[in-house]
Amino acid sequence: MNFKRPAITWPDGGWTRRFALKVCIVGAGAVGGFIGARLAAAGDAEVCALARGASLRALQEHGWRLTMNGALLQTPARADHDAVALGVQDLVLVAVKAQSLAGAAKSLAPLIGPHTVVLPAMNGVPWWFCETWSLDSVDPGGVIAAHLPHRAVVGCVVHASVATSEPGWVAHHKGNGLIVGEPAGGKSKRVQDVADLLQRAGFNTSHSADIRYDIWYKLWGNLTMNPVSAMTGATSDRVLADPLVRDFCSAVMLEAAQIGRRIGCVIEQTPEQRHAMAAELGAFKSSMLQDVQAGRSIELDAIVAAVQEIGQRLQLPTPHINALLGLTRLFGRTHGLYPEAVG
């Protein structure tokens, strides 16, 4: 698959400004707005947004707005709630919450042509992660896989801390890294094209030959910090400062590391080494804690339930992961942030 449409390339395959690439941001929240605003400002692509509600109204009225390094970056935005009105894109960057993707995927077909790249910039384990079986925890009934063709997908990991101060307005705190890669591993021309586009927009972009490892490695830290901070309301420094909580997090991470070894995502670090890296970031609020404080549903399935499901499929014991999942699920249901059990 060639990400570059023949109609918009020079003979040597390079993109030109004469014919704009078409990029659509699906989910213009914190991550989607962060990436969309910078792509739009770079001027290498015609950037639009598929949005709804307050985010749609804000984009239509104010355009892309990003506060970064003490300055406001603001550019006009084309935004619509109807994918048909936006048409087929070269790149569809999906930045909705994982629990919302199944619903969103059903409406994305008008954006996806034979050469479109779909780039999910989301937390946790994606639906395509396991080669031989689907994950019921993140794609029950295979809805996402049925609507987003596997051939179109390129993996992505976001290393940045961003938040929305109000609909359509993103504040950048720290981090500027994006990792992209083929789901099956190795390197490709289309992924390099995506990496180059993002690099020109100012991101520190890496073209990974093993994006599954990169996803698992980021998850290894989020797996504990996100739900523990969400339940306790504590910033990361307080989570790590409590020896009992820290030891529990380490036990969860050891179980996840064992699962990683079985699926080819070997993590060489110890939990303590990862804790030390997190401590260097100081006091920060995880994305799940931010969601709890804003009254939004939590991404528990992609971050914790998927890891438990993979462990069960491999018949590996996960008592600490089970406890973490059960406690956070109960917390979420009690506060109306996670769906009640069906049946």
Specify whether 285 is catalytic: no
Q: Are 289 and 299 in contact (CB under 8 A)?
A: no
At a CB cut-off of 8 Å and minimum separation 6, what does 339 contact?
A: 333
CA distance 251 to 271: 8
Nearest C-alpha neighbor of 300 from the set 288, 318, 292: 288
CA distance 162 to 177: 12
Query: SS3 breakdown of the chain: % helix, strand, coil, rounded to 5?
Result: 45, 20, 30
Q: Are 227 and 328 in contact (CB under 8 A)?
A: yes
Query: Per the residue annotation, which of 97, 174, 187, 218 is the catalytic one?
Result: 218
Q: Which residue has the tokens 């395509």?
A: 128
CA distance 146 to 161: 31
Residue 31 CB neighbours (<10 A) = 26
Q: Which residues are known to be catalytic?
A: 218
